[in-house]
Protein backbone atom coordinates (compact mmCIF):
# COMPACT_ATOMS: atom_id res chain seq x y z
CA UNK A 1 0.00 0.00 0.00
CA UNK A 2 1.75 3.11 -1.23
CA UNK A 3 1.99 6.03 1.13
CA UNK A 4 1.20 9.65 0.40
CA UNK A 5 2.96 10.73 -2.77
CA UNK A 6 4.07 14.23 -3.63
CA UNK A 7 5.76 15.60 -6.72
CA UNK A 8 7.95 17.17 -7.58
CA UNK A 9 10.22 16.64 -4.60
CA UNK A 10 12.19 19.75 -5.45
CA UNK A 11 11.03 22.73 -7.48
CA UNK A 12 12.99 25.81 -8.46
CA UNK A 13 11.15 28.85 -9.76
CA UNK A 14 12.10 32.42 -10.55
CA UNK A 15 10.14 35.27 -9.05
CA UNK A 16 6.88 35.81 -10.90
CA UNK A 17 6.55 32.25 -12.17
CA UNK A 18 3.90 29.76 -11.13
CA UNK A 19 4.45 26.72 -8.94
CA UNK A 20 2.23 23.63 -9.04
CA UNK A 21 2.59 21.07 -6.30
CA UNK A 22 0.84 17.71 -6.48
CA UNK A 23 -0.30 15.34 -3.79
CA UNK A 24 -1.75 11.87 -4.18
CA UNK A 25 -3.28 10.63 -0.90
CA UNK A 26 -2.96 7.11 0.40
CA UNK A 27 -5.28 4.60 -1.22
CA UNK A 28 -8.71 4.86 0.33
CA UNK A 29 -8.08 8.30 1.83
CA UNK A 30 -10.33 11.14 0.76
CA UNK A 31 -9.18 13.89 3.13
CA UNK A 32 -6.17 16.00 2.16
CA UNK A 33 -4.40 18.65 4.20
CA UNK A 34 -1.64 21.01 3.04
CA UNK A 35 0.96 22.42 5.44
CA UNK A 36 3.87 24.80 4.89
CA UNK A 37 7.16 24.56 6.73
CA UNK A 38 9.52 27.50 6.63
CA UNK A 39 13.21 26.76 7.36
CA UNK A 40 13.81 25.95 11.03
CA UNK A 41 10.12 26.30 11.86
CA UNK A 42 7.12 24.11 12.55
CA UNK A 43 4.42 23.18 10.11
CA UNK A 44 1.61 25.65 9.49
CA UNK A 45 -1.83 24.52 8.38
CA UNK A 46 -2.89 25.93 5.03
CA UNK A 47 -5.98 24.15 3.72
CA UNK A 48 -8.15 21.06 4.14
CA UNK A 49 -9.93 19.50 1.18
CA UNK A 50 -12.19 16.61 0.38
CA UNK A 51 -12.93 15.42 -3.14
CA UNK A 52 -14.15 18.44 -5.13
CA UNK A 53 -14.59 20.53 -1.98
CA UNK A 54 -12.49 23.03 -0.05
CA UNK A 55 -13.60 22.63 3.55
CA UNK A 56 -11.21 24.89 5.47
CA UNK A 57 -8.81 27.34 3.83
CA UNK A 58 -8.24 29.49 6.90
CA UNK A 59 -4.45 29.11 6.64
CA UNK A 60 -4.15 30.05 2.98
CA UNK A 61 -2.77 33.45 2.03
CA UNK A 62 -5.55 35.52 0.49
CA UNK A 63 -3.75 36.12 -2.76
CA UNK A 64 -1.75 33.99 -5.21
CA UNK A 65 -2.46 30.67 -3.45
CA UNK A 66 -5.16 28.21 -4.44
CA UNK A 67 -5.85 24.52 -3.92
CA UNK A 68 -8.04 21.90 -5.47
CA UNK A 69 -8.79 18.22 -5.12
CA UNK A 70 -10.66 17.08 -8.22
CA UNK A 71 -12.81 14.01 -8.49
CA UNK A 72 -10.04 12.30 -10.44
CA UNK A 73 -6.35 12.88 -9.97
CA UNK A 74 -4.14 14.40 -7.29
CA UNK A 75 -4.69 17.43 -5.12
CA UNK A 76 -2.95 20.52 -6.48
CA UNK A 77 -1.53 23.44 -4.55
CA UNK A 78 -0.94 26.32 -6.93
CA UNK A 79 1.13 29.40 -6.20
CA UNK A 80 0.97 32.17 -8.75
CA UNK A 81 3.61 34.86 -9.20
CA UNK A 82 5.93 33.33 -6.64
CA UNK A 83 8.09 35.51 -4.41
CA UNK A 84 11.20 34.62 -2.42
CA UNK A 85 9.15 34.39 0.77
CA UNK A 86 7.28 31.42 -0.72
CA UNK A 87 10.45 29.33 -0.45
CA UNK A 88 9.56 26.53 1.95
CA UNK A 89 8.76 22.87 2.22
CA UNK A 90 5.14 22.10 1.41
CA UNK A 91 3.75 18.92 2.90
CA UNK A 92 0.46 17.28 2.27
CA UNK A 93 -1.17 14.76 4.58
CA UNK A 94 -4.09 12.45 4.08
CA UNK A 95 -6.53 10.70 6.35
CA UNK A 96 -9.34 8.19 5.82
CA UNK A 97 -12.96 9.24 5.25
CA UNK A 98 -14.30 7.97 8.57
CA UNK A 99 -15.88 10.26 11.12
CA UNK A 100 -14.48 8.85 14.34
CA UNK A 101 -11.72 10.71 16.15
CA UNK A 102 -9.71 7.52 16.30
CA UNK A 103 -9.56 7.39 12.49
CA UNK A 104 -8.23 10.87 11.98
CA UNK A 105 -4.51 10.14 12.02
CA UNK A 106 -2.78 12.16 9.34
CA UNK A 107 -0.05 10.56 7.23
CA UNK A 108 2.41 12.92 5.62
CA UNK A 109 3.94 12.86 2.19
CA UNK A 110 7.66 13.46 1.56
CA UNK A 111 7.10 17.12 0.80
CA UNK A 112 7.97 19.46 -2.05
CA UNK A 113 10.84 21.82 -1.40
CA UNK A 114 10.21 25.03 -3.30
CA UNK A 115 13.05 27.41 -3.92
CA UNK A 116 12.28 30.80 -5.43
CA UNK A 117 15.26 32.56 -6.96
Partner 1 sequence: GENVEQHPSTLSVQEGDSAVIKCTYSDSASNYFPWYKQELGKRPQLIIDIRSNVGEKKDQRIAVTLNKTAKHFSLHITETQPEDSAVYFCAASMFSGGYNKLIFGAGTRLAVHP
Q: By the criterion CB under 8 A, which residues form the site for partner 1?
A: 31, 33, 35, 41-45, 48, 55-56, 58-59, 91, 95, 99, 101-102, 104-111
Q: Which is nearer to partner 1, 81 or 105 (CB)?
A: 105
User: If DSSP codes are grouped into helix, strand and coil, which group holds residue 101?
Assistant: helix
At closest approach, how far in Å is the CB of 74 from partner 1?
16
Determine phi and psi for 49, rounding to 5 degrees: -130, 150
Q: Which is nearer to partner 1, 17 or 113 (CB)?
A: 113
At closest approach, how far in Å is the CB of 48 from partner 1?
6
Q: Which is nearer to partner 1, 17 or 87 (CB)?
A: 87
At closest approach, how far in Å is the CB of 27 from partner 1?
17
User: If DSSP codes are grouped into helix, strand and coil, which group holds residue 103?
Assistant: helix
Q: Which is nearer to partner 1, 64 or 110 (CB)?
A: 110
At closest approach, how far in Å is the CB of 51 from partner 1?
13
- The per-residue DSSP string of 37-99 comes to E-TTS-EEEEEEEETTEEEE-TTS-SSSEEEE--SSS-EEEEE-S--GGG-EEEEEEEE-S--
> 23 and 32 in contact (C-beta within 8 Å)?
yes
Amino acid sequence: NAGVMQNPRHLVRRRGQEARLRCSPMKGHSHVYWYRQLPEEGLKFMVYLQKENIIDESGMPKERFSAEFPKEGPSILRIQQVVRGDSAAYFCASSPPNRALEDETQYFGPGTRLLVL
